[in-house]
Amino acid sequence: MSKSYRVAILGATGAVGTELLELLESRNFPVRELKLLASERSVGRSLRFKGEDLPVELVSDRTLENLDLVLASAGGSTSKTWAAVAVEKGAVVIDNSSAFRMNPEIPLVVPEVNPLAAANHKGIIANPNCTTILMSVAIWPLHQISPIKRIVVSTYQSASGAGAKAMAEVKTQASAILQGQQPVTEVLPYPLAFNLFPHNSALNNLGYCEEEMKMVNETRKIFNDPKIRITATCIRVPVLRAHSEAINLEFENPFSPDTARKILSRSPGVKLVEDWERNYFPMPMEATYQDEVLVGRIRQDISHPCGLELWLSGDQIRKGAALNAVQIAELLVEKNLLKPEKTYVSTEK
């Protein structure tokens, strides 16, 4: 990484945006110049980067000029408005929203899984959904040994997936309940403190919510395997910033738990966490602020000879969003792919 780059964070004051800022510094990404961009309500704030207070600027045609890289985490509508502008001005956009993930012309990348897909970018690379990233990192090494035929996943998703305001709301609700008061809900549809509920994204005509269908469709795209059968149930739980997932895998052939442990113990982005005597396995509290996806409780599915069960916890803000985006950026730098080789192709379908 001998070169340095002009970088912008779009959505710099949000939970993922501030994590991106910290990761660029802690991982020593080669930043020559850094712009912090956000909506009008955040203008006037400043954030610290490498000992310097940087102002938050309004995203505009002007502030998107003369950039090499834009790390976007400001929501789908904002990305649809500004990603094309940034690319037309010469930048590569790594987008954390759902705006471009299923566009066939735009790579959807998890560096531990499909790094070669990044080479096909035309200016935009999509960051997958948090639950999809965590699951992909954990099961891809096993899929490489024996193809997975079917995935049944249940998620236990933290408040951070709904943003910094949702995290603050859970804390306020917990305090209110402990004082015998009624919890107030403004960000989330129902009280989350001391409670849980199915993910509140829109339902389709089959009864699956958007979050569940993201896991289905994104995993198939990342694995480049449309034949994998996937079903998901996504639940919001009273945890601040780390998701957990219970995953049942059906392989073409029997897959022993010991073999799975050996593979995952040396797989990138994974940390094996198992102590059967203590009944100690991955927990969201211990996954918080960790780069690795914690995987454990690997066991044979007693209902199917080719079935395997595993459990994981991973930091939603970090590997589930910001870290994956920075890793994509590092991959582009390493492979000299930061400049788009082709002109921007419209993402409107």
CATH number for the domain that contains residue 305: 3.30.360.10
244 annotated to a ligand binding site? no
CA distance 107 to 93: 11
Residue segments in the chain with a per-residue pLDDT below the cut of 50:
1, 341-349
Distance CA 268, CA 220 (A): 20
Residue 258 forms part of a structural domain: yes
Q: What is the DSSP string of 178-201?
A: HTT-PPP-SSSSS--TT--EE--S
Q: Are 38 and 63 in contact (CB under 8 A)?
A: no
By annotation, the residues acting in catalysis are 130, 243
Q: Are residues 86 and 146 in the same domain?
A: no
Token readout for 96 is: 């954390």
Question: Does residue 164 form part of some domain?
Answer: no
13 marked as binding residue: yes
In a domain, 284, yes or no: yes
Q: In whole angstroms, how far apart are CA 325 and each of 18, 124, 126, 233? A: 13, 12, 9, 25
Q: Does 267 appear as a known binding residue?
A: no
Q: Do 143 and 277 have their domain in common?
A: yes
The verdict on 25 and 48 lying in the same domain is: yes
CA distance 94 to 109: 10
Is residue 327 a known part of a binding site? no
Q: How far apart are CA 143 and CA 4, in angstroms?
A: 36
Are 223 and 244 in a shared domain?
yes
| Alpha helices (runs of H) in 224-278, residue ranges in sequence order | 257-265
Q: Is 318 annotated as a binding residue?
A: no
Amino acid letter for position 88? E
Shared-domain flag, residues 140 and 264: yes
Question: What pLDDT is stored for residue 341 in this prediction?
Answer: 44
- The verdict on 251 and 112 lying in the same domain is no
Same domain, 72 and 146: no
Same domain, 215 and 298: yes
- Sequence-ordered alpha helix ranges (H) in the chain: 15-26, 76-88, 130-145, 164-178, 210-223, 257-265, 284-287, 323-334
Residue 299 assigned ligand-binding role: no
Instruction: State yes or no: 266 annotated in a binding site.
Output: no
Residues 211 and 301 both lie in one domain: yes
Q: Are residues 18 and 106 in the same domain?
A: yes
Cα 137 to Cα 196: distance, rounded to the nearest angstrom: 26
Ligand-binding site membership of 86 (annotated): no
Domain count, the chain: 2
- Cβ neighbours of residue 71 closer than 8 Å, sequence gap 6 or more: 7, 8, 9, 10, 20, 94, 96, 325, 326, 329
- Token pair, residue 119, equals 């080479």
69-72 and 229-236 strand pairing: unpaired
Give me the pLDDT at residue 2, please: 63
* Residues 242 and 288 placed together within one structural domain of the fold: yes
Q: What is the domain range of residue 252?
A: 132-158+196-314
| 173 carries a ligand binding annotation | no
> What 3-state DSSP class applies to 260?
helix
Q: Are residues 12 and 151 in the same domain?
A: no
Is residue 160 annotated as involved in ligand binding?
A: yes
